[in-house]
Structure 1
Amino acid sequence: MPRAVAPPPSGEFTVRLTKPFSGPPKHIVEVIGEPNRPASVRMTQYNGHAKSSEKVGDMPADDVQELMSLISTIRGFPSHATQDVYGQDAKVDFNTFEIQWSNEDDDPSAGSISEIAGEQKDDFKRIVDSIEALGRTFAKRDSAI
């Protein structure tokens, strides 16, 4: 069941990767922008509950289109509010005007990690790896916190 989250302004999207799946975050990558335009990338590292570093950068429009295409493949994937059903120890939140999805949503059809199709696990891993790579590639400048 999708979350009841207000959609962003028309055309805007937010992609957020948080590690680990549960507990205080240690690593967050956020991409915010609009399709067909450059986007902002923020990568934050935590030491306990405090930020230890935050880097920002800009992502070219071509990479935004590639990310949007990749992320759109998770539409309809099962999710579970308390269990990492994809085995990546990561939360992915995707929010556009049309789609609001998170692998932390309460979806009674999700079952357990052993019930998720191997192809869906592979697709989810590819998305997690891609978001992390975007953070490493484009978030290079120290953020003015």
Structure 2
Amino acid sequence: MPHQVAPPPSGEFQVVLSKTFSGTTTHQIEVIGEHNRSAIIQRTEHSGSGSSSEKTGDVPADDVQELLSLVSQLRGLPSHASKDIFGLDTKVDFNTFELQWSNGDEDSAAGAVNELASEQKDDFKRIVESIDALARTFAEQDSAV
């Protein structure tokens, strides 16, 4: 079944990175904002005991534009609802008014793809690492839980 998320209002975006691909999430990064403005970033770490810690912060507009440029490259990459085709045990969801993409969506073309091009895996890995770096840099304040 396709991943159905209502698109945010025009001009707004949401990027969510979750580790693991399926199962209990251990690490999540969420960035919400509008084009050409600063955005809010939240990093959540879940421990095995059921507790979690949250850090938040603001991402400057220039970094938001760079993030959106990177994440928009996901548009052409394949996805699969039940298989981690990129091999990173990571799910990325990207939602704007114009585009909704997730590597956890059902993609009929992905079923025919046995091996992704190494360039596609490298692109996905670079985007995941960039989102992680953004969270390490800007999500530094303890969140009020």
Residues 59-102 of structure 1, C-alpha deviations (whole Å, 9 max, x = no match): 00000000000011110211000111011110000000000000
| Shift of residue 112, structure 1, vs aligned partner | 7.6
| Shift of residue 22, structure 1, vs aligned partner | 1.0
| Shift of residue 132, structure 1, vs aligned partner | 0.5
Residue type at the aligned position of 1:115: E
Residue type at the aligned position of 2:111: G
1:142 aligned to 2:134?
no
| Shift of residue 6, structure 1, vs aligned partner | 1.1
Query: Aligned residue pairs: how many?
Result: 145
RMSD: 1.7
For 1:51 and 1:99, how far apart are their aligned partners in 2?
33
4+ residue segments displaced more than 4 Å: none
Aligned twin of 1:70: 70
Aligned twin of 2:98: 98
Aligned twin of 1:20: 20
| Residues 109 and 126 of structure 1: CA distance in aligned 2, closer, same or farther (over 3 Å) | same
| Shift of residue 4, structure 1, vs aligned partner | 3.1
Q: Match of 1:133, SS? A: helix
Identity, in percent, stands at 64
Unaligned runs of 5+ in 2: none
Q: Match of 2:124, SS? A: helix
For 2:75 and 2:127, how far apart are their aligned partners in 1?
12
For 2:17 and 2:55, how far apart are their aligned partners in 1?
15
| Residues 2 and 71 of structure 1: CA distance in aligned 2, closer, same or farther (over 3 Å) | farther
Aligned twin of 2:52: 52
| Shift of residue 2, structure 1, vs aligned partner | 6.0
TM-score by length of 2: 0.94
Q: Match of 2:110, SS? A: coil
Unaligned runs of 5+ in 1: none
Residue type at the aligned position of 2:135: G
| Shift of residue 5, structure 1, vs aligned partner | 2.0
Aligned twin of 2:119: 119
CA contact (8 A) 1:32 1:40 kept: yes
| Residues 55 and 27 of structure 1: CA distance in aligned 2, closer, same or farther (over 3 Å) | same
For 1:4 and 1:36, how far apart are their aligned partners in 2?
26
